[in-house]
């Protein structure tokens, strides 16, 4: 396959060498119950056991290690209250650099203190994510900090792609890989890795029905904005950027399909993960299991579902498990 994309198989192999020893090689486990339901072997990639609780550490670590010593010394910045913020805080601290994470005044105190605890310099500005991002842009422009975005960056995509290399390293024969999809950094990297080695393997993106920006953009043939709605898969929210440089084209060219999941299906995925696999996962990480349970995946060989993260509020998780919560609520 010609590598006309900003991230090649060789870039991903280089990322794997760079981040080796700094991120965990996570386990794969065959699921008896899901294999029975799907009629083909189903393996779970247990990436929610990654340090900081999500795969985002791979891309963040590769991006930090790809900076020159001078850039690293200037400091790193991003606007993220979620898994990217946690990962970047940890990755910077591990290399002796400072990450400044900008967030709005509306971000709950527990999220602020978690990111601070991981070593970041937290800067509280404005009343929205947009205003936090404006502060990031200002710090880049006026202070010279280096921005590491959550998905639309070649080093981030290459880092996420190392997860794809681990999957094919652990399991020679894979027919279909199920990848949670938001901005597309994970899907682009995993698809480039897997199809770079075996072009016949199908890579399918999974996302929620409510406010899926990449799905709407792929349908429109260009990056578009969608209204953001609350979802149990909150890590899959947010836009892909109207000036997207990397992930839109890669997802368009490399993904075989995108499957949408309802809130009730995502809740069922989280319950199945807990009750039968004994795994605590966040909504975004349950979409692969959800699609298998809903009969939305057609495969004639081994399937791998990536469990991408576990950073869920435990009270929310309890309510989902008890069947008290099937939909995300406004103003949670
Ligand atoms: C960020 C994230 C995703 C989506 O990754 P993208 O690269 O934005 O597509 C999926 N699951 C979890 C847990 C995440 O944190």
Q: Among 44-53, 98-107, 140-149, where is mean pLDDT lowest? A: 98-107
Atom 8 in ligand 1: residue holding the nearest Cα:
183
- The model's confidence at residue 329, banded by pLDDT at 50, 70 and 90, is low
Angle, CA of 301, 305 and 311, to the nearest 5°: 175
Question: Would you state the pLDDT for residue 3?
Answer: 53
State which ligand 1 atom lies nearest to the alpha carbon of 180.
10
Per-residue pLDDT at 330 exceeds 80:
no
Ligand 1 centroid, distance to 293 Cα (angstroms)? 21
Q: Domain limits of the chain?
A: 2-54+153-321, 56-147
Question: Would you state the pLDDT for residue 206?
Answer: 98
Pick from 55, 157, 159, 285 the residue to mutate for probing ligand 1's pocket: most ligand atoms within 8 Å of its CB.
55
Question: Would you state the pLDDT for residue 105?
Answer: 87
- The model's confidence at residue 228, banded by pLDDT at 50, 70 and 90, is confident
List, chain by chain if needed, residues with CB within 6 Å of any ligand 1 atom: 54, 56, 83, 151, 180-187, 235-236, 282, 284-285, 308-309
Ligand 1 centroid, distance to 181 Cα (angstroms)? 6
Per CATH, is 2-54+153-321 categorized as 1.20.20.10? no
Catalytic residue IDs: 56, 308
CA end-to-end span of the chain: 45
What is each CA distance from 65 to 96, 143, 156, in whole angstroms?
11, 21, 11
- Give the number of other CB atoms < 10 A from CB of residue 94: 18
What percentage of the chain reaches a pLDDT higher than 70?
Answer: 97
- The model's confidence at residue 331, banded by pLDDT at 50, 70 and 90, is very low
* Fold that domain 56-147 belongs to in CATH: Rossmann fold (3.40.50)
User: Are domains 2-54+153-321 and 56-147 of this chain identical in fold?
Assistant: yes
- The model's confidence at residue 130, banded by pLDDT at 50, 70 and 90, is confident
Mean pLDDT of the chain: 94
């Amino acid at each position: 396959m010609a590598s006309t994309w900003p991230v090649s198989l060789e870039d991903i192999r280089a990322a794997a060498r760079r981040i080796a020893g700094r991120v965990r090689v996570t386990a794969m486990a065959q699921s008896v119950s899901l294999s029975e339901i799907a009629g083909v072997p189903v393996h779970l990639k247990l990436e929610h056991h990654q340090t900081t609780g999500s795969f985002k550490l791979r891309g963040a670590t590769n991006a930090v290690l790809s900076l020159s010593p001078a850039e690293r010394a200037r400091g790193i910045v991003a606007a993220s209250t979620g898994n990217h913020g946690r990962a970047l805080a940890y990755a910077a601290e591990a290399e002796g650099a400072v990450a400044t994470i900008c967030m709005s005044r509306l971000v709950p105190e527990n999220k602020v203190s978690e990111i601070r605890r991981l070593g970041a310099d937290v800067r509280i500005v404005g009343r929205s994510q947009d205003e936090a991002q404006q502060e990031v842009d200002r710090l880049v422009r006026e202070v010279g900090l280096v921005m590491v975005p959550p998905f639309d960056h070649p080093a981030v995509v290459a880092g996420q792609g190392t997860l794809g290399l681990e999957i094919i390293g652990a399991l020679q024969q894979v027919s279909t890989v199920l990848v949670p999809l938001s901005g597309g950094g994970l899907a682009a990297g995993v698809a480039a890795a897997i199809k770079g080695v075996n072009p016949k393997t199908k890579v399918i993106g999974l996302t929620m029905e409510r406010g899926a920006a990449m799905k709407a953009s792929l349908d429109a043939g260009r990056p578009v904005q969608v209204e953001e709605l609350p979802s149990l898969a909150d890590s899959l929210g947010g836009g892909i950027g109207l000036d997207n440089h990397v992930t839109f084209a890669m997802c368009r060219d490399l993904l075989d399909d995108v499957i949408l999941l309802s809130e009730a299906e995502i809740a069922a995925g989280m319950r199945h993960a807990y009750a039968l696999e004994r795994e605590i996962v966040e909504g975004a990480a349950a979409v692969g299991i959800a699609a298998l349970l809903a009969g939305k995946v057609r495969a004639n060989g081994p399937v791998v579902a990536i469990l991408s993260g576990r950073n869920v509020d435990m009270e929310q998780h309890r309510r989902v498990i008890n069947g008290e919560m099937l939909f995300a609520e406004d103003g949670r």
